[in-house]
Amino acid sequence: MAGRAFISVGPGLQRPALGVAAGRADEAPGPTRFGQPAGGDPRQPVGQDGRSKRGSKGYDAGKKIRGRKRHILTDTDGRLLTVRVHGADIQDRDGGKGVLKASRARYPFVTRAFADAGYAGRLVRWASDNTHIIIEIVRRTPGAKGFEVVARRWVVERTFAWIVKNRRFVRDYEQLTSVAETLITIAASATLIRRWA
């Protein structure tokens, strides 16, 4: 089923998980007259957002979660294609743009993506206009109570489960979100190699 992919943010992985955030500006303020950087002690670590050494995090009021979110794009078998991580204060539909942009350059054959209801709305129109990927929203059946297996959603959830099997990803240990993305890619690659062997 080449040409189809899944985009999702993992539930339960938003608490201090990993992150690619709005990031820190590449340009640092110039040194002061005493040679120290403007805005702080040069001996203290500087985080991605310039405020903390733990990188950028946020608070998602809807999910009542503080930390970071992981957005992944997988193929129909659950193999990781693209990952983006950012602070939890960014909406799912806005965070999904980064995953779709990154996938377009690397995987131009992806023409359709399945997503959950958190990605509905503006992202669907944006994706069709800018990345030429058709996003199909997979919803729960109306009136369903309790747990329900949602069609095609389990593929992404299984990929998140494979990633979390690596103990490092249960909590947020990374300071930089780019490191977190790289380690998630390594974990997914290791899972793929184990399954082939």
Q: What is the 3-state secondary structure (H, E, C) of 46-61?
A: CCCCCCCCCCCCEEEC
| Predicted pLDDT of residue 44 | 52
Best-predicted range by mean pLDDT (4-18, 56-70, 112-126, 145-159): 112-126
| DSSP summary character for residue 128 | I
Q: Has residue 65 been placed in a domain?
A: yes
At residue 3, does pLDDT exceed 60? no
Q: Has residue 80 been placed in a domain?
A: yes
| Predicted pLDDT of residue 127 | 92
More confident residue, 28 or 173: 173
Site of tokens 């669907």: 124
Measured at the alpha carbon of residue 160, what is the angle toward residues 155 and 166, in degrees to the nearest 5?
Answer: 140
Site of tokens 């204060």: 89
Its pTM stands at 0.68
pLDDT tens-digit readout, 61-85: 777 778 888 889 998 888 999 999 8
Instruction: Read off the CATH number of the domain in which 105 is found.
Output: 3.30.420.10
Q: Has residue 179 been placed in a domain?
A: yes
DSSP E strands in the chain: the ranges are 4-9, 58-60, 65-75, 80-87, 112-115, 134-137
Domain interval for residue 125 = 4-21+48-139+150-196
Q: Has residue 125 been placed in a domain?
A: yes
Q: Has residue 66 been placed in a domain?
A: yes
Segment 167-184 mean pLDDT: 82
Q: Has residue 37 been placed in a domain?
A: no
Q: Has residue 82 been placed in a domain?
A: yes
Domain count, the chain: 1
Q: Give whole-number Cα distances, 12 to 55, 88, 107, 133, in Å.
A: 19, 12, 28, 27
Segment 143-159 mean pLDDT: 84
At residue 35, does pLDDT exceed 50? no
Q: Has residue 63 been placed in a domain?
A: yes
